[in-house]
Chains A and B, each alone.
Chain A
């Protein structure tokens, strides 16, 4: 299970409120691959930015079996790499392909995955709606 740290707590807290964020270095402008206190340029002043609501699907896979230590994940589940080209930033996220098959190069909409207390980054193949209204994994299958 996820254990946030002082470096990552703001990311997970924002995600719980339906926002996908990243930390950006105030000094050099780099969007950090994952939340961290020290930028690769050495600076330590970060701002939290909201990422665009749409991202490009770089690749995806439908995994038949969820790892046994992740009971909140359905089987099968779909996971992908998403790109924000303007920010030179990529993230790993779940894929909600219930509205149609995902295809590499598609623009997908941010739509966080919720299962009990667990909230994870996810993009969907149809326009996002209010996150609190979205179901969890019943519509998650590819």
Chain B
């Protein structure tokens, strides 16, 4: 395809170790990341005329635009598809940039998920909504939704929970190479299985972290990005959405990645074999397993075998979640922006000890009860 859109800036807010002094609101973290991403691109806040963000209440486009002082925005998108939102924003930003609706699109995220972890803020506050009446009232949570998928997955393929634990083990190997990762010590399958049960078959170490943090990326049309520091090409994007409730899914082990992945690869005009780096949302160990299979990187029922064989680990042929992922780096409740930031970092060759040979990277976000997905294929600028 002709590359028309580029990510020109990407940056993290302060992140990693809980209790760090620094920004004390989700907005502050989103703003910090935004300024850093713009500086990374060689741009200023005044250049921004497009804003895309959402959050659990505090970081709406209204609030963040006010906080940053962006009062003459030409394009605003507050779409919220859970953790997939930020990857899906790349698709929306591409459309806006190509339509001439804006010139510099800022995608931002900030969260105090760790600080707020005991406040139990309702995500869908209206008790009349079907998801509250028929799922949440029964204890149908994000955790149980993924556990229901995991239980069915290991049943369908005759596996044991140890197969899923391999995901956490492989991801921790990457975290050991990232100084910003929250947990960097090596992990064994036995330790994952010995950690306390959360929702069978998922134990504590099958579950992502809960972190404060933030991140931002900046997009421009590729033909206007020549003066930015190190643009990365957006080769293909796709998003999709399926049943909200787990009860609405005809197959608990299939996700909308089937559709978003297909769209992204068609747009990119690439085969799976062209991808040499994966950033697959890992809210739980089951999440990237399903994504690997839905996106065509593993045959059905084989993803955990490939992971156990080291295919996705350091030195493997398909490095995955090289920042340590949501399982060991950080997870702010909605993790999507971090898949983009790490993909950009790797494509630019700026990942330090964890750098992999990388010319095409795939970032993939997953939202809510495996409900939504966004898939983005990025390429190093030739």
A residues at B contact (CB < 8 Å)? 1-5, 8, 33-34, 36, 58-70, 73, 77, 79-81, 90-94, 104, 120-121
Contact = CB atoms under 8 A, between A and B. Distances in A.
Given A59-B151, A64-B199, A79-B139, A92 B127 contact: no
Contact of B247 (A5, A60, A81, A104): A81
A92 B151 contact: no
Interface in B223-273: 245-249, 252
Interface string B182-201: 00000000000000111111
Contacts of A62: 197, 199-200
Contact of A104 (B138, B151, B246): B151
Contacts of B24: none
Contacts of B133: 2-4, 8, 34
Most buried by B among A65, A79, A120: A79
Contact of B144 (A5, A61, A69): A61
A60 B138 contact: no
Contacts of B135: 92
B144 A63 contact: yes
B152 A79 contact: no
7 contacts: A34-B130, A59-B151, A61-B144, A62-B199, A67-B136, A79-B138, A120-B137
Given A33-B245, A61-B200, A62-B197, A67 B155 contact: no
A81 B139 contact: no
Nearest to B252: A59
A105 to B, nearest CB: 8
B148 A67 contact: no
Given A34-B130, A79-B144, A92-B245, A104 B152 contact: yes
